[in-house]
A and B are shown apart, each in its own frame.
Chain A
Amino acid sequence: MWISTSRWLPCLYGLVFAVGALAASDTDPDFKSVRTKFVKDYSGTGPSEPATEKYFHESSFHYHYDGRFADEELSEEETLPHLSQLIRTYLSTMADLGAETWIMHGTLLAWWWNQKIFPWDNDIDVQISEPTIHFLDEYYNMTEHHFDIPGVEGGRTYLLEINPNYVFRSIEDKKNVIDARWIDTSSGLFIDITAVRPDDAKRKNGDTGALMCKDKHHFDENDIFPLRNSRFEDFPVKIPFEYVKLLEEEYGPKALTATDFQDHHFNEETLVWDPVSKRKRSLRRGGAVAFPVRTTPLKYKMT
Chain B
Amino acid sequence: MARYSNINNLDYTDDSSDDGLHSFNDNNNNNNNNAPSYRLTRYTRPLIDYVRNEWKTNPKYASLPTTNTDASSDYPRWVQILGSIITAPRFRRYVVVYTTVLLSCWLGWKFIVLPRLEEHAAILRGLDPQVKEEVGGWFGANALPRFDNMVQLRTLEPSLLPGEVTSESDQHGGRRLIFIGDVHGCKDELERLLEETSFNPDTDHLIFTGDMINKGPDSLGVVDLVRKYSASCVRGNHEDRVLSLRHNMIAANTMNDEFLDDANMHRGQYTRERELARQLSDEQADWLDTCPVVLNVGQIQDMGQVVVAHAGLVPGVDLDKQDPYSVMNMLTVDLDTHVPSSSIKGTKWTKLFNKHQSLLSDSLHETFENPESMLTTVIYGHDSKSSLSLKTYTKGIDTGCFKGGKLTALVIGDGGEQKTVQVRCNNYTKK
Using a CB–CB cutoff of 8 Å, the interface residues on chain A facing chain B are 111-115, 129-131, 198, 208-209, 211, 221-222, 224-231, 239, 241-245, 248, 253-254, 256-260, 266, 268, 271, 303
Contact = CB atoms under 8 A, between A and B. Distances in A.
Interface stretch (B138-146, B173-181, B390-398): B138-146
A143 B243 CA distance: 36
Interface string B317-341: 0000001011001000010111111
Given A229-B148, A248-B341, A257-B141, A221 B248 contact: no
B423 to A, nearest CB: 32
Contact of A113 (B139, B142, B341): B142
Given A228-B148, A259-B136, 7 more contacts: A114-B142, A129-B266, A198-B266, A231-B146, A256-B142, A271-B143, A303-B253
7 contacts: A113-B143, A221-B266, A224-B268, A253-B334, A256-B139, A257-B141, A258-B135
A259 B143 CA distance: 12
Contacts of B83: none
Given A226-B245, A245-B342, A303 B252 contact: yes
Contacts of A229: 147-149, 247
Contacts of A256: 139, 142, 337, 339
A239 B135 CA distance: 27
Nearest to B321: A268
B142 A112 contact: yes
A241 B243 CA distance: 12
B314 to A, nearest CB: 11
A209 B269 contact: yes
Describe A's contact surface by its main secondary structure.
mixed
Nearest to B145: A230
B354 interface: no
Interface of B: 135-139, 141-143, 145-149, 241, 244-245, 247-248, 252-253, 263, 266-270, 323, 325-326, 329, 334, 336-342
Contact of A258 (B137, B143, B270): B137
Contacts of B137: 257-259
B4 to A, nearest CB: 84
- Which one of B139, B244, B252, B339 has the greatest number of beta carbons of chain A within 10 Å? B339
A257 B338 contact: yes
A228 B251 CA distance: 12
- Which one of A115, A226, A245, A253 has the greatest number of beta carbons of chain B within 10 Å? A226
Given A115-B143, A130-B266, A221-B268, A243 B325 contact: yes
Contacts of B139: 253, 256-257
Given A254-B135, A254-B337, A257-B338, A226 B141 contact: no
Nearest to B148: A229
Nearest to B139: A257
Nearest to B243: A226
Contacts of B341: 245, 248
A259 B141 contact: yes
